[in-house]
Amino acid sequence: MAPFAPTRPAVAARRYPQGPKGYRRSDERIREDLCDRLMQTRHIDSSEVTVEVTNGTVVLEGTVPQRRMKHAIEDFADACLGVQDIDNRIRVAAHPAG
């Protein structure tokens, strides 16, 4: 059995209406929205994460202390209006052996 690989919903399955013809939310506005959300979240340490947005594609890079934080940050990005795709390159920091 092949492992389950979730995919992003097709454009036809959008959660929000298209909006005015020709309107596209700016990359800087998407980045600000996501960064603001991450700053306000107490249960996620995003201090070592960078956020870049190009043509609606969010690129997340850096490290987090826990796996759940990696996925939670991606969920926050997915919830931002205007995001077309997400490239999650975040790594979970290795715990020192002890």
Structural domains of the chain, with CATH:
25-92 (3.30.1340.30)
pLDDT digits (tens, 9 = 90+) for 37-48: 999 999 999 999
Nearest CA among 39, 58, 61 for reference residue 50 = 61
> Quick one: pLDDT at residue 90?
98
| Phi and psi torsions of 22, nearest 5° | 80, -5
Q: Give residue 15's pLDDT.
A: 60
Rounded to two decimals, the pTM is 0.78
Q: Nearest-CA neighbor of 66 among 38, 91, 41? A: 91
The total of other beta-carbon atoms located within 10 Å of residue 74's CB is 16
- Cα dihedral: 32, 33, 34, 37 (round 10): 120
pLDDT the model gives residue 96: 64
For the chain, which residues score pLDDT lower than 70? 1-18, 96-98
Separation CA 56–CA 62 (nearest Å) = 20
**pLDDT on residue 12:** 46
Residue 76: the pLDDT is 97
At residue 3, the pLDDT reads 52
